[in-house]
Each structure stands twice: as C-alpha cells, then as structure tokens.
Amino acid sequence: MSRPALHRIALGLALTTLAACTTVGPDYAVPAGAAFQRPEANAAFIDTGNPQVAAGAELPARWWELYQDDTLNALVQQALRDNVELKVADANLRRAAAVYEQALDAGGFEYEAEAGVSRAQLSAESFLLEHELPPINLADGKFAVSYQFDLFGKLKRASEAAHADEQSVAAALDLARVSLVAQVAGSYVEICHANHELHVAEHSLQLQQRSREVTQRLINAGRGTPPELARANAQVA
C-alpha cells in the first residue's frame, strides 16, 4: 500500500475519532418532582384589581412604591443602598460573572510571548587581550501559540455550570432585595399602626380625664358620689 493511501486512512481514522467524541454526560433537565414543575408554581397571579400589581403585568422599575408613601420610599432606597447583605450578594454576583467569563475564554488559542534585552561586557583577560572589549547588546525573544481542543465537552460543561451558577446568584440577589424591601415595608406598616393605636389611646385618655372632671364637679355641687369619682379615677389610670 502506498504512503499517500496510508496517510488518507490515518486521516480518516482521526476524523472518525473526533466525530465520535461527544460532550460528557447528558444535558441537564429539571427533575419532574421539582417545585418549579408544580402547576401552582406556574399558575397566573391572583388579580388584585390594582393596575400596579395586575396579573401578568410587567414589573415596574421602582416596584416598592406600591404604597405611594414618600417616607417609605426613602427608607427603602436607603436600605437598598446601605444594606450589607445586599453588598455581599452583589459582590458574589460579580464574582460569578467573572468566573463565567473565564470559563467562556477557556480553550481555543493561547499565545505566549517573552522578550528581553541586556547589555554586557566580556572580560578581555578571558581572551588574553590587553585592551578592554567594547560593551555589547544582547536580545532574546520567544513566541508560542497553542490550541486546546474540547474533545469531550469538558470546557463546554464548565461554561454551562458557570452560567447556571451566575443565574442562581442573580436570583439570590433578587430574592435578597425582595426580602429586604418586604421587611422594611412590614416594619413601616407596624410603626404606622402603633402610632395610630397610640393616637387612639391618647384621645381615649383625654375623654376619661374630662369625664373625671365632670364627676368631680357633680360631687362639688352635691349631685355626685365618691364611688363614681373612684371609678372615674380608675378609668383614667
């Protein structure tokens, strides 16, 4: 058999081997028992009648302004700006994005270059000369090119995993933001409710104090009784 024929056979075997190489492992699929697959998780949101939170409506950019309260909006903005956990989550997202970019850049062509310049003077004595030799300039350089083949899909799987990790970290950041805003809004509503109850209690105290004054006047006029005054004092207390 001639040498060209052997070369063609070797090339054919190499191409066949490359064609047989597939990405390692099956493609990822969401498990059937995952919570994401449940019908209630994919159902439409309940329509509340509010156009800002209508079912299927696009989420507004400043979705925390639902209550239209300037004080609450300022508190939420301050919390989103200064919360330490959000800063940590944002740093984790940037790190995951950097890892994903690094995974995308893996493989393919890689270049390496080095260069150096030096100046030296040889010893005249080593050449049995009486006069000094003039200085000389020395230069060297190196340039290399390499290429990494992803024969079994290792690099592809690594980039897919890095991309999934970035998405999960982004979702965690969104969840942290929602949780933080919910906590701020819940605490603000509780404070407003407590202030309203305090106002009601103060108004009730004023009424009881007026009732005690009336009872005292009746006693002074001879129309009231000490038990009525005691009961009025107890209600004020």
Q: What is the DSSP string of 148-179?
A: E--TTSHHHHHHHHHHHHHHHHHHHHHHHHHH
Residues β-bridged to residue 108: 148
Digit-coded pLDDT (tens) for 38-68: 888 777 777 767 666 666 666 677 777 877 8
Q: Residue 219: which domain range?
A: 69-236
Question: Most confidently modeled of 3-12, 19-28, 98-107, 207-216?
Answer: 207-216
> Whole-model pTM?
0.56
50 found inside a domain: no
Digit-coded pLDDT (tens) for 121-165: 666 666 666 677 677 776 777 767 666 666 666 777 778 888 888
179 found inside a domain: yes
Question: Tokens at residue 68, please?
Answer: 């239209």
On the question of pLDDT at 103 being above 90, the answer is: no
On the question of pLDDT at 12 being above 70, the answer is: no
29 found inside a domain: no
- Res 13: pLDDT: 46
- Res 2: pLDDT: 53
Q: Other C-beta atoms within 10 Å of 205: how many?
A: 13
6 found inside a domain: no
Report the range of poorest mean pLDDT among 48-52, 63-67, 174-178, 186-190. Answer: 48-52
211 found inside a domain: yes
Report the range of poorest mean pLDDT among 25-39, 51-65, 86-100, 165-179. Answer: 51-65
- Res 193: pLDDT: 93
4 found inside a domain: no
Angle between helices 154-220 and 70-82 (to 10 degrees): 140
Terminal CA-to-CA distance of the chain, rounded, Å? 116
On the question of pLDDT at 19 being above 70, the answer is: no
Show the DSSP H helices in 83-153 as ranges: 84-105
91 found inside a domain: yes
152 found inside a domain: yes
Q: How far apart are CA 8 and CA 16, in angstroms?
A: 12
Mean pLDDT of the chain: 77
Looking at residue 107, its amino acid is G
Helix, strand, coil % (nearest 5) of the chain? 60, 10, 25
Number of domains in the chain: 1
Here the CATH number for the domain that contains residue 173 is 1.20.1600.10
Q: What length does the chain have?
A: 237
Report the range of poorest mean pLDDT among 35-39, 153-157, 190-194. Answer: 153-157
- 155 vs 110, more confident: 155
Show the DSSP H helices in 3-110 as ranges: 3-20, 70-82, 84-105
The torsion angles phi and psi of 74, rounded to 5 degrees, stand at -65, -40
Q: How far apart are CA 145 and CA 155, in angstroms?
A: 19
